[in-house]
Amino acid sequence: MNEWNRNKLSAFLDGKATGLVYFYTPMCGTCQVASKMLQVIEELVELNIGKMNLNFYPDLAREFEIESVPCLVFVKSGEVIETLYAFHSVPFLLEKIKQHLL
């Protein structure tokens, strides 16, 4: 999972791509657990997954209406289709991904 900057996010959305954008903060313990879950997901499915440290992008928190971290944004053809805050488990995330993106 690569760290994205604003340009990479814009290219992803403007290019009508499909995948996940993971917003986190480094000091968040729950975010660290969520990151490990997403690393497993990354090994299991072929999908664009980018992560962004929300401390550097407070304007994106407003733009995407992010209420808390960790936050996983599902993007299909450049459009946000779901925002997820409770990651639950790897099987739960896989099911959500299959439901929305695969």
- 15-46 pLDDT, tens digit per residue, is 999 999 999 999 999 999 999 999 999 999 99
Structural domain harbouring 92: 2-100
Across residues 2-22, what is the average pLDDT?
A: 95
Catalytic residue among 28, 60, 90, 94: 28
In this structure, are residues 21 and 75 in contact, taking their beta carbons and an 8 Å threshold?
Answer: yes
- Say whether 28 is catalytic: yes
What six digits make up the tokens of 51?
Answer: 């992560």
CATH label of the domain that carries residue 86: 3.40.30.10
Q: Which one of 31, 34, 41, 72 is the catalytic residue?
A: 31
pLDDT of 100:
87
71 catalytic residue (yes or no): no
Q: CB-based contacts of 39: which residues, under 8 Å, 6+ apart? A: 1
Tally of domains in the chain = 1
